[in-house]
Structure 1
Amino acid sequence: MAPSHFLDGFDLCDKVVNGVSIRFALAGEGPAILLLHGHPQTHIVWRKIATDLVQAGYTVVAADLRGYGDSDKVESHAPHHPYSKREMAKDQVRLMRALGHPRFTVVGHDRGGRVAHRMALDHPEAVDRLVVLDIAPTLTMYDRTDQDFATRYFWWFFLIQPEELPERMIGSDPEYFLRRHIGGQVKTPGAVSDDVMAEYLRCYRDPNTIHAICEDYRAAATIDLEHDRAD
């Protein structure tokens, strides 16, 4: 363990679950809350509220999803099963069990919200309470896609293009893509400080991370829809 530079009072830990190593920050005592980030962030996206949750009397686990941050980047190609939200949710459920929390609250933002949504469907015995931020169900989003959505959320359709087109294009200048992407999402000046941006960029410069992110989105447009329709 090592102290987190971004989440005050938290320790950084790694644990192998479901065949992958998951990086997470841990602090607190009491009922457990699992925090799951979105794209293109990592667990440090929760830095402004995580300590407040600890002070409110919770055990807080802020994890990097597989493929993101310092969690393992799993080899994946079509049909993208390793980055299905089913597998990503399984990682986190097994992590929480390994930490002694068979039932917990999960809060997911963006991609983490999609993982949390699938987690509630696949593991209702584990999810005590569910909070999803900034998502509607993936199947609903694709079924209702129109020109306005496709224009504003272009990366939904760019990142799912066949391997290695988006990987090579992003990899040619990952800093430009990352800054433009975050700048388009965050409308509050100064919300993402220079040190946080540098940390996101450290992770985003890894070609394995770029590929994993594309596989996450490819899975969302293929196998995840199959799982959602089956439900």
Structure 2
Amino acid sequence: MPGTDDFDAFDLTVGPPEELVVVHGVRGGEGPPVLLLHGFPQTHAMWGPLAADLARDHTVVATDLRGYGESGRPTDGENHAGYSFRAMAADQVDVMARLGFDSFAVVGHDRGARVTHRMLLDHPERVARAALLDILPTAYVYAHTDRALATAYYHWFLFIQPADLPERLIAGDPIGYLHSLLGGWGSGLDAHPPEALATYERAFADPAARHAMLEDYRAGASIDLEHDAASDVAGERIAAPTLVLWGERGVVGANSESPLEVWRRAAADPGLVTGEAVTGAGHFLVDEQPAATTAAVRAFLCG
């Protein structure tokens, strides 16, 4: 992870005996604990500058989600349950408990932010505060898809096709396709530090890793929506202070509703949710505008 040479790497086996998974991550710094969760198609390496800054006065843990980077790739499971946000959230809660933290802050980007949202609902006693970077709720996105969003989020609908059709299509030029993703959502490819980019390339070159990432999206269009619907019926809402950040030039900011208003409806108290657009950023705001993003996250965590 760029800028974090003094962080220590770890591999922890977590989960119930019938579905153990190894989670890879790094830890550094001292102070209140904060967990950093990456998105697609990245790994924990995306957090370099932000992690290094927070480690000045926090214990920072950054992990690879199951199926990503150097973490384990469990079986798909019925209805893609092996890659549900619920399963991913449980992994991360177990990791933090194994590291000695029963309560902690979470900062998630993209798919990692969706894991964070599920964690807020499934494990409210664990999450002291949370930051959600450049997403709207999964169920909201599917319910409000129009031509513009479907065009921008075309990969959501490609990736959920049955295996192994999208896998075979991507296999034709996996690194070229990875570069198109990283350089096509509001930023150029050069926004990503070379060291971090190399880790994404290593992971994406592995067919098993690519399949696992697609299973994440298949779960998002099936079992995750079932979990979201059940949570809604049960009246489960975000109960922790939550920061919402999005890229000024990205898809989330172009939504017909303010991201803040959408997320405030997902909270037990709308006053719990604050946030803003990050000026000059697209989807990869941590990479495109590291100083502004780090400042906003730091102010929230220390507020």
Q: TM-score range by the shorter chain?
A: over 0.9
Superposed structure 1 runs of 4+ greater than 2 Å apart: 4-8, 193-196
The separation in 2 between residues aligned to 1:85 and 1:172, in whole angstroms, is: 29
Q: Secondary structure at the match of 1:16?
A: strand
The separation in 2 between residues aligned to 1:190 and 1:48, in whole angstroms, is: 16
Coordinate RMSD, CA, aligned:
1.3
Residue 208, structure 1, aligned to residue 185, structure 2? no
The separation in 2 between residues aligned to 1:171 and 1:108, in whole angstroms, is: 28
Deviation at 1:196, TM superposition (A): 2.3
Deviation at 1:195, TM superposition (A): 3.0
Deviation at 1:6, TM superposition (A): 5.6
Matching residue of 1:14: 11
| 1:43-74 CA distance string (max 9 Å, x none) | 0100011111011x100000000000000011
**Within 5 A, what are the aligned runs for 1:135-214?**
135-187=135-187, 190-214=190-214
Q: What letter is aligned with 1:97?
A: A
The separation in 2 between residues aligned to 1:91 and 1:6, in whole angstroms, is: 26
Moved more, 74-83 or 221-230: 74-83
The separation in 1 between residues aligned to 2:22 and 2:12, in whole angstroms, is: 5
Deviation at 1:172, TM superposition (A): 2.1
**Within 5 A, what are the aligned runs for 1:59-208?**
59-76=59-76, 78-187=78-187, 190-208=190-208
Q: What letter is aligned with 2:48?
A: R
Q: What letter is aligned with 1:29?
A: E
The separation in 1 between residues aligned to 2:3 and 2:80, in whole angstroms, is: 32
* Cα distance change of structure 1 residues 189 and 209 upon mapping to structure 2, 3 Å threshold: closer
Q: What letter is aligned with 2:5?
A: D
Deviation at 1:194, TM superposition (A): 2.9
Please tell me whether Structure 1 or Structure 2 has the larger radius of gyration of its CA atoms. 2
The separation in 2 between residues aligned to 1:38 and 1:75, in whole angstroms, is: 20
Gaps of 5+ in 1: none
Q: Percent of aligned positions with the same letter in both sequences?
A: 50
Q: Secondary structure at the match of 1:178?
A: helix
| 1:172-209 CA distance string (max 9 Å, x none) | 21101100010102525632133322221101111111
Gaps of 5+ in 2: 232-303
Q: Secondary structure at the match of 2:106?
A: strand
